[in-house]
Amino acid sequence: MDIHEYQAKDILRGFGVPVPRGHLAYSPEQAAYAARQLGGQGPWVVKAQIHSGGRGEAGGVKLCKTEAEIKDYAASLLGQQLVTKQTDANGKGVYRLYVEEASDIAQELYLGFVLDRSSERIMIVASAHGGMEIEDLAESDPDSLVRSVIDPAVGLAEYQARDVGFRLGLTGMQVMQFTTFLKACYRAYRDLDAMMVEINPLVITGAGDLIALDAKMSFDTNALYRRPQVEALRDASQEDPREAIAADNGLAYVGLDGDIGCIINGAGLAMASMDMIQLAGGQPANFLDIGGGASPERVCQAFRTVLSDRNVSVILVNIFAGINRCDWIANGVIQAYREVGIDLPVVVRLSGTNVEEGQKIIRESGLPIISADTLAEAAEKAVAAGAQKIAAE
Catalytic residue positions?
Answer: 110, 198
Phi and psi at residue 141, to the nearest 5°: -150, 70
Q: Which residue type, as a one-letter code, is found at position 8?
A: A
Binding residues for substrate: 265
Binding residues: 47, 54-56, 100, 103, 108, 200, 214, 265
**Alpha helical stretches, state H, 280-393:** 296-307, 326-340, 355-363, 375-392
Q: In this structure, which long-range contacts are made by residues 15-18, counting pairs with CB atoms below 8 Å and at least 24 apart in sequence?
A: 15/184, 15/185, 15/187, 15/188, 15/191, 16/180, 16/184, 17/181, 17/184, 17/185, 17/188, 17/199, 17/212, 17/215, 18/181, 18/209, 18/210, 18/211, 18/212
Binding residues for ATP: 47, 54-56, 100, 103, 108
Please, what is the Cα angle at 83 between 286 and 80, to 5 degrees?
105
Q: Which residue type, as a one-letter code, is found at position 62?
A: K
What kind and span of H or E run contains 183?
helix 173-191
Q: What DSSP character marks residue 284?
A: B
Letter string b/e over residues 340-350, b meaning 16 or more CB atoms within 10 A of that residue's CB: eebebbbbbbb
Binding residues for Mg(2+): 200, 214
Sorted by sequence, the CB contacts under 8 Å of residue 366 that are 6+ apart come out as none
Partnered with residue 146 across adjacent β-strands are 126
Strand pairing class (121-127; 194-205): unpaired
DSSP codes of every residue in 64-91: ESSHHHHHHHHHHHTTPEEP-TTS-TT-
The beta-strand segments (E) located in 95-192 are 97-101, 105-116, 121-127, 145-150
